[in-house]
Amino acid sequence: PLKSYENTQNTLDTNLNKRTKSIYTPLELQFIEMKKQYKDAVLCVECGYKYRFFGEDAEIAAKELNIYCHQDHNFMTASIPSHRLFVHVRRLVAKGYKVGVIKQMETAALKAAGENKSSLFSRKLTALYTKSTLIGEDILFKEIWFHTLIFGLDDSVDVEEVTTDVPDNYLLCICENGENLKDRKKGDIVIGIM
């Protein structure tokens, strides 16, 4: 009985917000675990038809994206509609933030039909954007095309709105190979720069 009490107590301690003395929700616990892995990134967490920011990430998003931020359970939170994700990711990246996109790995329909219908959606980081990795206008225009297809022309994303704050991107790759190759003398080094 003592061991089971200790295990219960340890579980309660990790699920308890020490400041407010309230229990974290399952989504908040999931966010805390993800934030431990990606401390230096602003995380956008997919929750149904919107992406939510939590804690300090919500405060950053509110300030930089000019969106509303409020207290919800144990964290400050802010949200954006899912069809505006790429616009807001580009804005955050242009302001120098590393942005992580965390998506739901199952749909509501599949979840409802499955055995785990009352459990939390499984989520994982699917993209991590920085000034160096957010490249390719083709990605931008695919997002705009998808938005127009789903939501119609009246509510389409303005290309100018998205492209005005796109930073210049530079990426350098250097590869050094010091192994002995057949046609090379011993000690020769091959360097490739792209």
Predicted model pTM: 0.62
Local structure of residue 158 (DSSP, 8 states): P
Q: Which of 14-18, 63-67, 133-137 has the highest mean pLDDT?
A: 63-67
Q: Which of 55, 110, 91, 82 is nearest to 167 (CA)?
A: 91
Q: Do 57 and 51 meet the contact criterion of CB atoms below 8 Å apart?
A: no
Q: Which of 45-49, 120-124, 130-134, 135-139 has the highest mean pLDDT?
A: 45-49
Q: Which of 152, 161, 44 is nearest to 98 (CA)?
A: 44
Q: Taking the domains of the chain in order of start, what are their residue ranges?
A: 26-134
Q: With bands split at pLDDT 50, 70 and 90, how would you rate the model's confidence at 107?
A: confident
Residue 155 has pLDDT above 90, yes or no: no
Q: Token pair for residue 101? A: 């996109």
Local structure of residue 102 (DSSP, 8 states): E
Superfamily of domain 26-134 in the CATH hierarchy:
DNA repair protein MutS, domain I (3.40.1170.10)
Residue appearing with tokens 């942005």:
99
**Facing residues of 104 across strands?**
123
**Helix, strand, coil share (%) of the chain residues, nearest 5:** 40, 25, 35
Which of these ranges, 70-79, 102-111, 112-121, has the smallest mean pLDDT? 112-121
Q: With bands split at pLDDT 50, 70 and 90, how would you rate the model's confidence at 100?
A: very high
Local structure of 45: helix, strand or coil: strand
Q: What is the pLDDT of residue 3?
A: 41
